[in-house]
Structure 1
């Protein structure tokens, strides 16, 4: 499984290949797919299916997970979660607020290296300096890891802040030997403050980079 070991037992996970069975969607979900491209429908449908499977594993009933005006999932009361997909796989992570989880972040990316051109957009100067010190053959893969960690952090914090921001807002430090990363805020994003740290997990598995994070 892509998500094995990413979260502790308080978080329920599920994953699948992409699906075209739109019949599995609730009416309030299906309306968001009107006029959508086939690929988007597959991603959305698989994501909702994974989320409901994860909810079921927590002993929760199946419920709709509509899209809000900000395009983020609207989770049922008392639940937090995150959904991500690559071009072939989809995964979801779900947890209860009553188990002490305030927010969950998850990102799944193909492990294909990113061109160095994108480092200017994705990375802070400190991250670029770190990349420059790594073996040249690994830099594209590590850049993809930084990208995934930032996407994961953004998804996690957004559930608490409702703030959109760019890649420059957080700095990532990878600890690949420990399969972990740390994200540091460069500015205040209430309730997070300058230099606040969020911790996450990272795995390179089955041709993918997978990152996960929770806030208690």
Structure 2
């Protein structure tokens, strides 16, 4: 499901079942005091990450949460992990192809009372009223998923916190794309000015998913990629 939102050069593995995986000592330490549910999510997400890395011809390696929970990927690799009830996924790519990557999955259910007002800007609340006519998508939860993807794409390359109010998202319900304008000071990463993100979203089988993949300056999309996937770009 998420794989369909990403370019072919991204290796994505997702599952609706929990898998048994032998964790590295560092990974076991990271969830030593966690409840069983959290350990299952963590372990299966690492299983997804190992399978995805294998597709890049990369060996298994510890994927340990770092500061603010961001996974620590091998050198020269960018990636993102997500999990929610009944779904886990990981996506990875070579740094030579992508500058950054962010994915998120959420249940297609309304947010708890009061949460939408906390995560949204006035413009987003106005848009939410307009989106209600488009299908059975819980648009408040969709916005939350997109902002999670934005943060997952932003933090690994800037190491700066981004509050919910520091991104204003516009959702295109018909094209199933989105644009996030960032209100934090722009970051310059590998010669790319990061001030906005574009990405894609989907809704299916009770899930909402969103994805951002920003190409590096060295990325040269093939003709097939140009036709099949509108490349998400950081703001210039």
How has the CA–CA distance of structure 1 residues 61 and 143 changed in structure 2, closer, same or farther, with 3 Å as cutoff?
same
Whether 1:82 aligns to 2:80 is yes
Q: Which has the higher helix share?
A: 1
Q: Secondary structure at the match of 1:159?
A: helix
Which residue in 2 is equivalent to 1:19? 18
For normalisation by structure 1, the TM-score amounts to 0.90
CA–CA distance in structure 2, aligned partners of residues 114 and 140 of structure 1: 12
Aligned to 1:9: 8
Task: State the alpha-carbon separation in 1 of the partners of residues 180 and 206 from structure 2.
Answer: 24
Change (3 A) 1:146 1:139: farther
Work out which of the residue numbers 38, 43, 46 in structure 1 matches 2:44: 46
Q: How many Å separate the matches in 1 of 2:65 and 2:131?
A: 40
Q: What's the offset of the Cα at 1:116?
A: 5.9
The answer as to whether partners of 1:84 and 1:108 remain within 8 angstroms in 2 is yes
Alignment of 1:132-171 (within 5 A): 132-135=129-132, 141-171=138-168
Deviation at 1:145, TM superposition (A): 0.9
TM value normalised by structure 2: 0.83
- Do the aligned partners of 1:160 and 1:191 also contact (CA within 8 Å) in 2? no
Find the aligned partners of 1:195 and 1:78 in 2 and give their Cα distance.
19
> Cα distance 1:195–1:3, how it changes in 2: closer, same or farther (>3 A)?
closer
Preserved contact between residue 105 and residue 153 of structure 1 (Cα < 8 Å): yes
* Aligned counterparts of 1:46 and 1:200: Cα–Cα separation in 2: 25
Map Cα deviations across residues 10-66 of structure 1 (whole Å, 9 max, x no partner): 100001135363x52111111111111101101100111101101111222222212
Q: Is the 8 A contact 1:106 1:155 kept in 2?
A: yes
* Deviation of 1:137 (Å): 9.1
SS in 1 for 2:63: coil
1:80-132: CA deviation from partner (whole Å, max 9, x where unpaired): 1000011111001000012x211110000011122563221011010111113
Contact 2:81 2:104 in 1 (8 A): yes
* Unmatched tracts of structure 1, length 5 or more: none
- Tell me the distance in 1 between the aligned counterparts of 2:145 and 2:116: 13
What's the C-alpha RMSD, in Å, of the aligned pairs?
2.3
Give me the whole-angstrom Cα distance separating, in 2, the residues matched to 1:68 and 1:133.
39
